């Protein structure tokens, strides 16, 4: 009879995963810096890096966040599975883990119980720095395992999603090796495959991680708050561009189930444009958007 896994074992497992997740891309960046000094960077590596960044960022923003966490739209099964695979390749945790953490973040935003708030470390410059580091990276090393039955019962009922959740490590590995396979097919050179894995795999992970994690840290410290949310969420345009619209974080906290985060015409939101495009061709439907009355009722601008 198999011995039940204790909470302590789960905590250790999460911390090991956090170490691998944080440290491996840093090592890739250090090696890439050394390699770049003598060999430069090829156009193919740049194209593959941008392509993998876009695919995995969409997996997180459209898939993990707006679809699985907030159910802000519905889509076909193939699209749903593709978004989960793309999100898994971003190496930010299996879909159940990511969704459960984010739902708890909204339930306890910037209050006790929020897994990654930068606002719970006191006052002053040192507290801000400590809070920012905690929200950006540190929380992953001290996170207590989530109650998935309570937080994500809807995802647990999806058998296909559960299969992808179980094979998450293999999907991360696939995300690292895929650009290398593409480079090998295009050039026929193993050296090109190796540099593609380095830049579009490891370095891409580093950049995508820290732009995404900046939503937890920077977007709860710096920016503007046009809507009343009861927390300290902020809109930050730089973060929004880098994360395909996620940086309109105060907008999102005001209307969590909205498929659109860039609520003003000038607020770039590539993720919503993609969702709207899928809707136009029948791949997505039931897009949830705040009404004019809801926007006006939450606005802090007279």
10 pLDDT band, cuts 50/70/90, is confident
Distances (CA, A) of 140 to 21, 92, 144, 164: 10, 10, 9, 22
Helical (H) or strand (E) element with 153: helix 153-156
Tokens 């590539």 locate to: 270
What angle in degrees, to the nearest 10, is found between the helix axes of 77-89 and 95-107? 90
Residues 6+ apart with CB under 8 A from 211: 57, 239, 242, 243
Tokens standing for residue 26: 């840093």
Summary mean pLDDT of the chain:
95
What average pLDDT score do residues 20-37 get? 96
Percent of the chain at pLDDT above 90? Answer: 91
Give the pLDDT score at 38.
86
What average pLDDT score do residues 13-27 get? 95
| Interval 234-261: pLDDT, tens | 999 999 999 999 999 999 999 999 999 9
At 16, give phi and psi (nearest 5°). -65, -45
More confident position, 55 or 120:
55
277 pLDDT band, cuts 50/70/90, is very high
**pLDDT > 90? residue 67:** yes
Please check whether residue 114 is in contact with residue 143, taking contact to mean a CB–CB distance below 8 angstroms.
Answer: no
Give the pLDDT score at 302.
64
What average pLDDT score do residues 56-77 get? 98
Quote the pTM value: 0.95
What is the spatial distance between Cα 208 and Cα 216, in angstroms, rounded to a whole number?
14
**pLDDT > 70? residue 5:** no
What average pLDDT score do residues 254-277 get? 98
**pLDDT > 60? residue 295:** yes
Give the pLDDT score at 111.
95
**pLDDT > 90? residue 148:** yes
Helix (H, G, I), strand (E, B) or coil at 285: strand
């Amino acid at each position: 009879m198999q011995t039940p896994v204790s909470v302590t074992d789960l905590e250790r497992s999460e911390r090991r995963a956090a170490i691998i997740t944080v440290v491996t891309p840093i090592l890739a960046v250090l090696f890439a810096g050394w390699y770049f000094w003598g060999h430069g960077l090829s156009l193919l590596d740049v194209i593959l890096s941008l392509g993998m960044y876009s695919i995995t960022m969409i997996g997180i923003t459209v898939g993990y966040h707006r679809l699985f966490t907030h159910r802000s739209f519905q889509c076909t099964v193939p699209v749903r599975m593709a978004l989960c695979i793309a999100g898994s390749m971003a190496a930010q945790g299996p879909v159940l883990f990511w969704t459960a953490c984010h739902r708890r973040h909204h339930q306890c935003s910037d209050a006790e119980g929020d897994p990654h708030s930068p606002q719970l470390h006191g006052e002053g410059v040192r507290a801000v720095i400590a809070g920012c580091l905690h929200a950006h990276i540190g929380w992953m090393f001290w996170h207590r395992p989530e109650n998935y039955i309570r937080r994500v019962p809807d995802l647990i009922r999806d058998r296909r999603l559960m299969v992808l959740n179980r094979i998450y490590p293999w999907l991360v590995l696939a995300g690292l090796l895929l650009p290398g396979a593409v480079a090998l097919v295009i050039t026929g050179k193993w050296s090109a495959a190796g540099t593609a894995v380095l830049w579009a795999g490891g370095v891409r992970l580093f950049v995508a991680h820290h732009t995404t994690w900046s939503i937890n840290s920077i977007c709860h410290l710096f920016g503007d708050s046009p809507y009343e949310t009861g927390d300290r969420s902020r809109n930050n345009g730089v973060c929004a561009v880098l994360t395909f619209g996620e940086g309109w974080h105060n907008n999102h906290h005001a209307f969590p189930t909205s498929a659109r985060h860039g609520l003003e015409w000038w607020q770039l939101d590539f993720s919503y444009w993609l969702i709207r495009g899928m809707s136009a061709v029948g791949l997505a439907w039931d897009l949830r958007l705040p009404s004019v009355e809801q926007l006006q009722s939450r606005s802090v601008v007279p």
